[in-house]
A and B are shown apart, each in its own frame.
Chain A
């Protein structure tokens, strides 16, 4: 277990998702990486049935094939407070006991799946994101295993990403690590930079949720988004694109 960063890959115009995945896979293999199985990260969101005086709460339930015995959940209470929980995978059955209070939004079930590669100390996963069987984009996960603090290894991760993706990646830490709000002792929210924190599996899951939420938001705008991404082209794009601000 090390530090993981997620990087969306812009889809060039006229190219299909599977074509790009093949292309990137071949690049990794020719670098010397080995193919090491498949992976899957999925997310289902449950919404509370509206009641008088309470804001709508959302429970996001995610799974990561890297941690097959665990279920990751994040509750958003509607007023900005989030609580994260890691539990045994039987938690899924408990959620089904609450279907009259929390209903699954089936149409927003989203997942990223694809091939998993190992390259020295790195694990790279080429994920194809689909929502209800519709292709949404490509999400690349890269993990540097010997380290548990982003600030010590970000430069190396960045160099590796730029090397095999052939795109430029911003020098700044990914936004997930710089824009986290935490609750302080006084119960107020404040900004907290996470790049020096010890990295946990939950951080990977939260990054996925952040990206999945973006893909969901862009459902209606899908056409415009695709053409915008296409115009950037496959090599050297503006440095901020793809850092979760899409």
Chain B
């Protein structure tokens, strides 16, 4: 029996809908002064709290490639864990769809773990640095939902490792997301119910970036 090629297996995974390629997302924010309350609430609701909530400290670099015949550049986000030895994570995010009938924002999403040559690789492909920032915070799980509470930190160019980098604001960004295969519409409802339980501490919403205008 001939073994299938990698391309064949991947096509099969997409066609049979077991490749997770859609992200369902709700976002909100909470002031530094109130974040402790939210942490308590999450500890009560989530699965992975036997010890202490899982922390993360990541540098995210967004790279863009201008493509002929396309007004939008292709964006790829590369995440690297600071102070921990882990593979780099590359992520492609599609245009968000904000459908009134759906409880969450939905966008196509591809996650890909890579070796550490990825930034060099992308540069050689012609990608250019778009922006970079540090995200530091806590990650919770509830079933297949992921909840992150993170502080976004501005980077002084060339000083990615520096502790002196300043937070962007006096609040934390809270994100509730699920990456699932196409066709699992009940995910959104599951998330809406969970988001209800975090009110009134944090109001998780589908944020339409287009309506925010061209923010830097």
Contacts and interface: CB of A to CB of B under 8 A. Distances in A.
A71 B5 CA distance: 11
B114 A86 contact: yes
B117 A100 contact: no
Given A42-B5, A57-B124, A100 B113 contact: no
Interface stretch (B63-71, B151-159, B202-210): B63-71
Contacts of B9: 68, 89
B118 interface: yes
A54 B126 contact: yes
B115 interface: yes
Interface string B3-46: 10111011000100001010000000000000000000000000
A90 B118 CA distance: 14
A39 B67 CA distance: 36
A198 B2 CA distance: 32
Contact of B113 (A38, A81, A87, A93): A87
A23 B216 CA distance: 67
Interface in A22-77: 37-40, 42, 48-49, 54, 57, 59, 63, 65, 68, 71, 73, 75, 77
A57 B126 contact: yes
Nearest to B20: A90
Main SS of the interface on chain B? mixed
Interface of A: 37-40, 42, 48-49, 54, 57, 59, 63, 65, 68, 71, 73, 75, 77, 81, 83-94, 97-98, 100-102, 111, 113
A91 B112 contact: yes
A88 B65 contact: no
B124 A83 contact: yes
Interface in B63-86: 65, 67-70, 74, 76
Question: Which secondary structure characterizes the binding site on chain A?
Answer: strand
A163 to B, nearest CB: 28
A90 B124 contact: no
B111 interface: yes
Contacts of A40: 3, 5
Given A42-B5, A94-B76, A98-B67, 6 more contacts: A63-B7, A83-B124, A87-B115, A98-B65, A100-B68, A101-B65
Interface in B171-208: none
Nearest to A67: B6
A93 to B, nearest CB: 6
A49 B92 CA distance: 22
A39 B5 CA distance: 10
B115 A86 contact: yes
Contact of B124 (A39, A81, A89): A81
5 shortest interchain CB distances as A-B pairs: A63-B6, A87-B114, A86-B115, A85-B121, A88-B112
